[in-house]
Structure 1
Amino acid sequence: MGTGQGTGCGWVRFRLTRSELPDAKTFRVTFRNGQWHIAFAVVPEPTPVPGTGEVIGIDRGVTITAALSDGRTLNCPQLTVKERAQIRKHQRRAARAKKDSPEKAVEYAKVAKLKAREANRRKDWCEKTSAMLARSYDLIRFEKLNIKNMTSSARGTVEQPGKNVAQKSGLNRAILAQGWGLLRQRTEHKAPGRVQDVPAPYTSLRCSACGWIDKNSRKSQAEFACSSCGFTCNADENAATNVAAGQGGLPHPRRTAGAGGATMATGRSSAREPQPIWVGIPFF
């Protein structure tokens, strides 16, 4: 491929990952981690609406990347145990090497190559998953998360150092490795106007069968058992069902369940809200 006037790389061969050349006016050639990449700037066509009337709710988490309201769970691929061990090995070797030495640069380059592999897997998964969602559902609802605030540093300042900094850093890395933001962004690109955000509060504490809200219903990360009606299911699936129904945000009015029925809430952190019982996912 020619690069015109000035300096350039001359004519190069590349592997085309699509059936034909895209209709693009610009392209970018980059060199990363020992490999050349060429990217064409193309505005993709929106995915046609399937017309089934189906609504899907998506609850995002660290243990399960995306739990769908239809019971499916999708997980973003991560580095294998062997690859993580290799990263630690190269990081130790880089730490022992002399400052600004070629050996240190080589070890850091190997670490960067492995981390780039993880990023490529995450991008590929987000592309395929977002395409599947856009092709399968008329309306796609995500739990609204402020990822920037959730992954902010807990280091603090010299005057006011943060607490549990190492644990918070590990949680931040785990969140960013799931590709939450990229999945939401690419789904919106492929299904414009068909993606909605549902407020996150109480989606994981609300019973998707009867509507009661009680923190004691969330038995563990994976178990949900309603303290009012006894409904049980996977906790992530329950939250995704609430997202699909648009059941999110603060309850109004806020109530707790008493011995004689529903009473107004006090200052207790666990609250319940009586809701009409609904069955299935409403069509819009």
Structure 2
Amino acid sequence: MSRFRLYPTPEQQTALLEQCRHARHMWNLALVQWSMWSRDKGPTPGYIEQARQLTEARAAFAWLRAGSQTVQQQALRDFDHAVTSFYAGTRRRPTWRKADRHEGFRIVGGQATRIVHLSRKWARVNIPKVGWVRFRLSRAVPDAKSYRVTRDRAGRWHLAFAAVPPPIPAPGTGEVVGVDRGVAVSAALSTGELLSCPRPPKTEEARLRYLQRRLARCCRGSNRWQRVKAAIAKLRARARDRRKDWVEKTSTDLASRFDVIRVENLRIAQMTRRPRPKPDPERPGQFLPNRRRAKAGLNRSILASAWGSLVRRLEDKAAGRLEKVNPAHTSQTCSVCGHCAPESRESQAVFWCVACGHQAHADVNAAINIAAGRAVSARQETPGRVSPKREPQLATSA
């Protein structure tokens, strides 16, 4: 989507939060109705029936009637779309929406086109029951039939238009690039470039730890607890903005320079899971060390490198030009002779082939293998040359 930064006044923020509460209330009521389904009962109400119930509720309750009917109806329509996507297998199960975490609503129809340009950098939008709200013109406003107003945990308001930008056209040079994702180096290209996702400076990390300790000592729900929680949200939002900016710039650069982009087909969700506990066979009820703290640090480093976001944006910007390669032993295979051996990977950054003596940066060597689409079997063996005159042989194992 094309997202812009909203700058409402304090009075407008109160009105926007009221609209968010109405949208969240409608979503949660629809979720309660949908969760009450059982085999001995009939089908739960759909969007048409819920819209009729909303009309009756607005006539009975003044606080609901004071809100925008468009916002409330679109919350029901969004829930109906979420349920349809869940049954289709494209989305997860709809969950309960909470305050300070899911703040937002959607405007559709003719009301979504009430936009006035004030200057080269500023414009304003007329939000129902709120009024004219200014927003920053960071790019051209797209021609969209709906927009969504959201508030993040750091307290920032955004205006997102439902307009998907077209993919970046291929340069037509026929060049292929391989991208190896890592922790020390976020993305290593087969061209030899090493790209690193920006990390928070040590001062911000120290302040984050300090604020987390303060939050643990605060009384939950108090004014001090809310202030400390808002300060933590601002630090995390700043780090998230850095990652997102790096992902957008890197994906745009790769999509505009290369015709084909090949990446490892990594299962990040499984890679960042917590380790399972190890029961102690000699002491029932006790557990052995499973290095969960070290795994937690590795998981944070993987998530901070934005592996999934980079591939997701490449799929959007280079549609049809992104290929996923089997990552099996790409970091242990020589990009020159093709010999695969764990001993060739001397360290995190050094690759020295034990067969031909080729030496290169380990991540760049893996990226070259990914660009060539190379992957070996689980036996970690280099397939030998077979004479073309030899008859096909049956496999000895599956």
TM over 0.5: yes
* Paired AA for residue 184 in structure 1: V
Structure 1 moving runs of 4+ over 3 Å: 155-162, 270-276
For the 8 Å contact 2:170–2:259, the answer to whether it is kept is: yes
Out of 130-139 and 162-171, give the one that drifted further. 162-171
Q: Distance in 2 between matches of 1:107 and 1:35?
A: 16
- Give the deviation of 1:273 after TM superposition: 4.1
For the 8 Å contact 1:26–1:40, the answer to whether it is kept is: yes
For the 8 Å contact 1:210–1:274, the answer to whether it is kept is: no
Q: Distance in 2 between matches of 1:203 and 1:21?
A: 44
2:131 partner SS: coil
Q: Which residue, 256, 266, 276 being the options, matches 1:135?
A: 256
CA RMSD of aligned residues (A): 2.0
- Give the deviation of 1:125 after TM superposition: 1.1
For the 8 Å contact 2:278–2:290, the answer to whether it is kept is: no
Q: Which residue, 271, 283, 294 being the options, matches 1:167?
A: 294
Out of 34-43 and 138-147, give the one that drifted further. 34-43
* Paired AA for residue 29 in structure 1: V
Could you tell me which residue of structure 2 aligns to residue 191 of structure 1?
A: 318
* Paired AA for residue 158 in structure 2: H
Q: Distance in 2 between matches of 1:177 and 1:169?
A: 12
Could you tell me which residue of structure 2 aligns to residue 101 of structure 1?
A: 222
For the 8 Å contact 1:67–1:240, the answer to whether it is kept is: yes
Could you tell me which residue of structure 1 aligns to residue 304 of structure 2?
A: 177
1:142 partner SS: strand
- Give the deviation of 1:104 after TM superposition: 1.7
Question: Is 1:21 the equivalent of 2:141?
Answer: yes
Taking a change above 3 Å as real, the CA distance of residues 178 and 212 of structure 1, as seen in their structure-2 partners, is same
- Give the deviation of 1:156 after TM superposition: 4.4
- Give the deviation of 1:157 after TM superposition: 9.3
Could you tell me which residue of structure 2 aligns to residue 2 of structure 1?
A: 126
For the 8 Å contact 1:211–1:273, the answer to whether it is kept is: no
Could you tell me which residue of structure 2 aligns to residue 153 of structure 1?
A: 274
Structure 2: segments with no counterpart, 5+ residues: 1-124, 280-284, 387-398
For the 8 Å contact 1:200–1:249, the answer to whether it is kept is: no
* Paired AA for residue 105 in structure 1: Q
Could you tell me which residue of structure 1 aligns to residue 347 of structure 2?
A: 220
1:14 partner SS: strand
Taking a change above 3 Å as real, the CA distance of residues 218 and 23 of structure 1, as seen in their structure-2 partners, is same
- Give the deviation of 1:249 after TM superposition: 4.2
- Give the deviation of 1:155 after TM superposition: 5.4
Out of 210-219 and 162-171, give the one that drifted further. 162-171
Could you tell me which residue of structure 1 aligns to residue 334 of structure 2?
A: 207
Q: Distance in 2 between matches of 1:196 and 1:39?
A: 30
Q: Distance in 1 between matches of 2:229 and 2:202?
A: 19
- Give the deviation of 1:241 after TM superposition: 0.2
Structure 1: segments with no counterpart, 5+ residues: 255-269, 277-284
Question: Is 1:123 the equivalent of 2:244?
Answer: yes
Taking a change above 3 Å as real, the CA distance of residues 3 and 99 of structure 1, as seen in their structure-2 partners, is closer
Q: Distance in 2 between matches of 1:22 and 1:121?
A: 25
1:95 partner SS: helix
For residues 65-115 of structure 1, give each alpha carbon's deviation from its aligned partner in whole angstroms, at most 9, with x where no partner exists.
Answer: 000000001111111111111101111111222233211221121111101
Query: Greater helix percent: which structure?
Result: 2
Q: Distance in 1 between matches of 2:204 and 2:133?
A: 31
Higher RCO, Cα 8 Å, sep 6+: 1
Could you tell me which residue of structure 1 aligns to residue 150 of structure 2?
A: 30
Q: Distance in 1 between matches of 2:226 and 2:286?
A: 35
Q: Tell me the number of residue pairs that the alignment of Structure 1 and Structure 2 aligns.
A: 255
* Matching of residues 51-62 of structure 1 within 5 Å: 51-62=172-183
For residues 31-52 of structure 1, give each alpha carbon's deviation from its aligned partner in whole angstroms, at most 9, with x where no partner exists.
Answer: 2212211112211111111011
Out of 136-145 and 99-108, give the one that drifted further. 99-108
Q: Distance in 1 between matches of 2:252 and 2:275?
A: 35
- Give the deviation of 1:181 after TM superposition: 0.8
For the 8 Å contact 1:141–1:243, the answer to whether it is kept is: yes
- Give the deviation of 1:271 after TM superposition: 3.8
For the 8 Å contact 1:212–1:274, the answer to whether it is kept is: no
Q: Distance in 1 between matches of 2:207 and 2:372?
A: 44
Q: Distance in 1 between matches of 2:244 and 2:353?
A: 37
